């Protein structure tokens, strides 16, 4: 049984994961499970099975998703809007000309500071979609602080010719990052520039996260994702899709207990991931903290070898 699972994971590693997660790393990770919940061999079997259900997206696939995100959620809808406004014209040269004009009046911005994953992915987003670099900005270059009595009280667009701002990220898990980063400035941007469209695009979004970013004080229904992660993507939920059709020996409660036991040693406040995200999800550029720490923690608080890399913000875990 273990040999079969190892074979499955090795095939995933070589092909689906583009060789970015080598078997020696996986083997070292399995040795973290020392039999503190159930027998050691059984624990490692559970860990191996969970890994075989993990969704990992390598560089090549991430680039293709960025292409799809642009085409399906920005380019096509905008061209359709242009066509409708021009009497449902079939003059594709006219549509393309007007689209390029609209594109020049658009700015793409990453969520978080320039060192975080949203801004990092914009580089690849620009490359794969052949977009000019002048279409990309950050908060400070796109908006000017409005200061009164020495305090910033709002933000206004620096360029009155810009009609559309598109904020971008890889994953919306809880929606907390977008809320923390933009909650204080979006209302004033909307007030200063009511004609501007303010949109949000991401690769993956959970139900909770998308509900949060679509609140009126944030993107007010203008947030969209390429892949929607409903409740069934929570790994240890009773309705989880990850372990449907599991072999007879597999027990979901046992798997949850293993993840909780070791996860509490690594991140006591969130042993199943930030706000109990329970996402079996990772990218070549980073692993979100919404995934259980047993997959990505580097052992800052308890000796541990990760299987996927996470480049954290160097803030102390609770």
* Paired residues of 281 in beta bridges: 55
The C-alpha atoms of residue 124 and residue 136 are separated, in whole angstroms, by 12
Q: Which residues contact 179 (CB under 8 A, 6 or more apart)?
A: 212, 213, 218
Domain shared by 43 and 117, yes or no: no
Lowest mean pLDDT among 52-56, 151-155, 191-195, 293-297: 151-155
Lowest mean pLDDT among 29-38, 129-138, 181-190: 181-190
Write out the DSSP string of 98-156.
Answer: HHHHHHHTEEEEESS-TTSHHHHHHHHHHHHTT--GGGEE-HHHHEEEEEETTEEEEEE
What mean pLDDT value characterizes the chain?
93
Question: 210, 229, 248: which is the final residue of a domain?
Answer: 229
Domain shared by 84 and 211, yes or no: yes
Domain shared by 167 and 87, yes or no: yes
Q: Output the pTM of the full model.
A: 0.90
pLDDT at 316: 43
Give the structural domain span for 91. 59-229
The C-alpha atoms of residue 23 and residue 10 are separated, in whole angstroms, by 6
Q: H or E element: which one contains 166? A: strand 164-172
Domain shared by 127 and 216, yes or no: yes
Question: 229, 245, 275: which is the final residue of a domain?
Answer: 229
> Does 63 fall in a domain?
yes
233 DSSP 8-state letter: G
Domain shared by 188 and 139, yes or no: yes
Q: What is the mean pLDDT of residues 295-315?
A: 86
> Does 303 fall in a domain?
no
Residue 269 has pLDDT above 70, yes or no: yes
Question: CATH code at 179?
Answer: 3.40.50
- pLDDT band (50, 70, 90) for residue 230: very high
Domain shared by 161 and 26, yes or no: no
Domain shared by 26 and 75, yes or no: no
Domain shared by 12 and 135, yes or no: no
Q: What is the mean pLDDT of residues 83-93?
A: 97
> Does 117 fall in a domain?
yes
pLDDT tens, 116-174?
A: 777 789 999 999 999 999 999 998 899 998 887 777 778 889 999 999 999 999 999 99
**Domains: count for the chain:** 2
The C-alpha atoms of residue 314 and residue 116 are separated, in whole angstroms, by 12
Residue 313 has pLDDT above 70, yes or no: no
Domain shared by 243 and 155, yes or no: no
> Does 297 fall in a domain?
no
Q: At what angle do helices 59-70 and 117-128 cross, to 10 degrees?
A: 70
**Is residue 217 within 8 Å of 192, Cβ to Cβ?**
no
Domain shared by 107 and 197, yes or no: yes
- pLDDT band (50, 70, 90) for residue 115: low
Domain shared by 121 and 258, yes or no: no
């Amino acid at each position: 049984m273990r040999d079969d699972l190892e074979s499955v994971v090795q095939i995933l590693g070589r092909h689906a994961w583009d060789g970015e997660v080598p078997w020696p790393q996986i083997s070292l990770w399995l040795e973290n499970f020392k039999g503190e919940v159930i027998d050691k061999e059984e624990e490692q079997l559970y860990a191996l099975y969970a890994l075989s259900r993990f969704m990992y997206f390598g560089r090549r696939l991430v680039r293709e998703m960025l292409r799809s995100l642009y085409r399906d959620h920005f380019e096509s809808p905008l061209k359709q809007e242009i066509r409708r406004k021009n009497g449902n014209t079939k003059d594709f040269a006219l549509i393309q000309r007007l689209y390029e004009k609209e594109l020049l009046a658009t700015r793409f911005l990453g969520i978080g500071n320039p060192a975080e994953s949203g801004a990092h992915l914009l580089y690849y987003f620009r490359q794969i979609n052949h977009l000019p670099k002048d279409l990309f900005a950050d908060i400070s270059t796109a908006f000017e602080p409005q200061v009164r009595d020495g305090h910033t009280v709002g933000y206004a667009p620096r360029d009155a010719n810009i009609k559309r701002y598109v904020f971008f990220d890889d994953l919306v898990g809880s929606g907390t990052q977008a809320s923390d980063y933009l909650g204080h400035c979006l209302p004033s941007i909307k007030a200063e520039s009511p004609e501007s469209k303010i949109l949000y695009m991401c690769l993956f979004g959970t139900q909770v996260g998308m509900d949060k970013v679509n609140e009126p004080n944030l993107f007010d229904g203008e947030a969209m994702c390429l892949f929607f992660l409903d409740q069934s993507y929570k790994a240890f939920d009773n309705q989880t899709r990850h372990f449907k059709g599991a072999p007879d020996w597999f027990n979901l409660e046992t798997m949850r207990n293993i993840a909780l036991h070791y996860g509490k040693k690594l991140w006591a406040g969130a042993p199943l991931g930030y706000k109990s995200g329970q996402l079996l999800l990772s990218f070549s550029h980073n692993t979100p903290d919404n995934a259980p720490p047993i997959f990505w923690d580097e052992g800052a608080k308890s000796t541990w070898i990760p299987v996927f890399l996470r480049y954290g913000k160097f803030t102390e875990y609770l």
